[in-house]
C-alpha cells in the first residue's frame, strides 16, 4: 500500500512540476513532510543540501533520497520513475509535433500566470523551512550574508554550502568559546 | 547522422555524473556535447528542444535527454538517454543516504549541518528572487504575493495553486485578446 501511495505522490508532483528543481520543493515539502510525514523537516533541508553538493539533477537527487529513506533501493527506483512518468509521456507526445507546440498561444498564456506563481511558491518554501533553521541573530545574519553573496556577487551554491558548514562548526560546536545570543 | 546508442548513453552519463547545480547547469554542457562536439543537432533544433523542455512539467535534464533521445534514435534512444543522465545521481545519492545516519548524531556534524541549513534557505530564497526579478510588473508582483499568501499563510496545497495560476494566466491572456479585438 505504501508503495502505491509513494508512486502516486511522486507522479502527481512530477505532473505539475513546472520550472525545474527548486520549484518542486514546495510540492515535496507539503506532500512528503506535511501530508505523509515520510521525512522530518530538518532531514528534508539536509536532503536539499546533499542534492546541491552531489552532481546530477536536483529533483532526481531528491526523489532518490526520499524513496531510499522510505523503502530502500525499490523505493528510490519507484519515486524516481514516478516523478518522470507524466513529463516523459508529454515530451514523447510533443516530440511528434514540435512546430505546433512552439507556435501554441495557449502554452505562452499559461506561463504568464505560472511564472510569477513559481516565485511565490519558492518564497513560501523558504519561509516555512526557515522557522526551525533561522532561530537566532547569528543564523539570521548568515542568511543575509549568504543571500547577498548568491544574488549580488553570483557566488556558486557549493562554496555557500561549505561556508554554511564552517559557520555552523564555529558557532554551534565547542571549537570556539560560546558566542553571545546563541 | 544517427549516433550509436552507447555513444548517446555515455554522453548523457558523463554530463549527469559531473554537473553540479542541477538541470540548468547542464544546459551549456548539453549544447557543447550535442551541437558543437558531435553535431547531432543544429543551433535552432537545440533552442527548440530547450523551449519545449522548459514549457513542460518535470525534471529539465530528463525532459531534455528524452526529447533528444527520441529525436536521434526513437523510443530506445529516449530510454538510453534518460537512464544515462539519471543513473549517476541515483547511485551517488543512495550510497550517501546509506551512510548519512551514522554521522548525523556526531555533534560536529550536527553543528556543521545547522549552518548548512541556513545556506539551503539562502539558496531557495535566491532561486525565488531570480524568478521574481524577471516578473516585476504590477500584475507579476501581485501574483507572486498572492501565491505566497495562499501557500505559506492560508496553507492551500501548492498543487491546486499551480493549477489555478496556470488557468488564471490562460484566461487573463485570452480575455485581454478579446478586449483588444473588441476595442480595435
The three three-digit cell numbers of residue A82, written as one number:
514516478
Q: Are residues B60 and B15 in the same domain?
A: yes
* Full domain range(s) for residue B19: 5-102
Residues of B in contact with A173 (CB under 8 A): 107-108, 111-112
Q: CB distance B20–A158 less than 8 Å? A: yes
Q: Are residues B78 and B50 in the same domain?
A: yes
**How many domains, in total, are found in chain B?**
3
Q: CB distance A94–B112 less than 8 Å? A: no
Domain extent listing, chain A = 2-131, 134-182
The region that residue A52 occupies, defined by phi over 0 for left and psi between -120 and 50 for alpha, beta otherwise, is alpha
Cβ distance A132 to A44 under 8 Å?
Answer: no
Residue of A nearest to B92 (CA): A54
- Judged by DSSP in three states, A37 sits in coil
Q: Are residues B129 and B154 in the same domain?
A: no
- Judged by DSSP in three states, B154 sits in coil
- ipTM value of the model? 0.90
Q: What is the pLDDT along chain A (182 residues), one digit of tens a residue?
A: 789 999 999 999 999 998 877 888 999 999 999 999 999 998 999 999 988 888 988 899 999 999 999 999 999 999 999 999 999 999 999 988 888 888 888 888 888 888 899 999 999 999 999 988 999 999 999 999 999 999 999 999 889 999 999 999 999 998 887 777 66
Rounded to the nearest angstrom, the minimum Cα separation between A61 and chain B is 6
CB-closest option in B17, B88, B118 to A142:
B118
Amino acid at each position: 500500500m505504501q508503495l502505491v501511495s509513494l508512486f502516486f505522490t511522486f507522479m502527481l508532483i512530477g505532473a505539475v512540476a513546472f520550472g525545474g528543481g527548486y520549484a518542486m520543493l514546495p510540492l515535496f515539502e507539503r506532500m512528503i513532510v506535511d501530508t505523509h510525514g515520510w521525512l522530518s523537516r530538518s532531514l528534508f533541508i539536509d536532503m536539499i543540501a546533499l542534492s546541491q553538493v552531489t552532481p546530477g539533477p536536483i529533483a532526481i537527487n531528491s526523489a532518490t533520497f526520499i524513496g531510499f529513506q522510505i523503502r530502500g533501493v525499490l523505493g528510490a527506483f519507484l519515486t524516481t520513475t514516478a516523478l518522470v512518468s507524466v513529463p516523459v509521456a508529454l515530451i514523447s507526445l510533443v516530440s511528434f509535433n514540435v512546430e505546433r507546440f512552439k507556435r501554441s498561444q495557449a502554452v505562452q498564456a499559461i506561463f504568464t500566470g505560472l511564472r510569477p506563481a513559481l516565485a511565490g511558491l519558492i518564497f513560501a518554501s523558504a519561509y516555512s523551512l526557515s522557522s526551525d533553521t533561522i532561530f537566532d541573530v547569528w543564523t539570521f545574519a548568515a542568511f543575509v550574508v549568504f543571500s547577498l553573496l548568491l544574488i549580488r556577487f553570483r557566488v556558486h551554491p557549493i562554496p555557500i554550502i561549505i561556508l554554511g558548514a564552517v559557520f555552523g562548526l564555529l558557532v554551534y560546536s565547542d571549537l570556539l568559546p560560546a558566542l553571545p545570543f546563541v | 547522422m544517427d549516433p550509436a546508442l552507447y555513444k548517446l548513453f555515455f554522453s548523457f552519463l558523463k554530463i549527469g555524473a559531473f554537473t553540479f547545480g542541477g538541470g540548468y547547469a547542464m544546459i551549456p554542457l548539453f549544447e557543447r556535447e550535442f551541437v558543437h562536439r558531435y553535431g547531432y543537432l543544429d543551433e535552432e533544433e537545440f533552442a527548440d528542444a530547450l523551449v519545449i523542455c522548459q514549457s513542460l512539467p518535470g525534471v529539465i535534464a530528463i525532459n531534455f535527454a528524452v526529447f533528444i533521445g527520441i529525436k536521434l534514435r526513437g523510443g530506445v534512444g529516449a530510454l538510453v538517454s534518460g537512464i544515462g543522465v539519471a543513473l549517476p545521481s541515483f547511485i551517488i545519492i543512495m550510497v550517501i543516504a546509506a551512510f548519512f545516519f551514522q554521522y548525523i548524531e556526531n555533534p560536529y556534524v550536527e553543528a556543521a549541518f545547522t549552518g548548512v541549513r541556513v545556506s539551503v534557505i539562502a539558496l531557495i530564497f535566491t532561486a525565488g528572487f531570480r524568478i521574481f526579478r524577471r516578473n516585476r510588473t504590477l500584475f507579476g508582483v501581485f501574483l507572486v504575493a498572492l501565491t505566497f499568501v495562499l501557500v505559506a499563510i492560508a496553507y492551500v496545497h501548492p498543487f491546486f495553486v499551480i493549477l489555478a495560476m496556470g488557468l488564471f494566466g490562460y484566461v487573463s491572456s485570452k480575455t485581454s485578446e478579446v478586449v483588444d479585438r473588441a476595442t480595435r
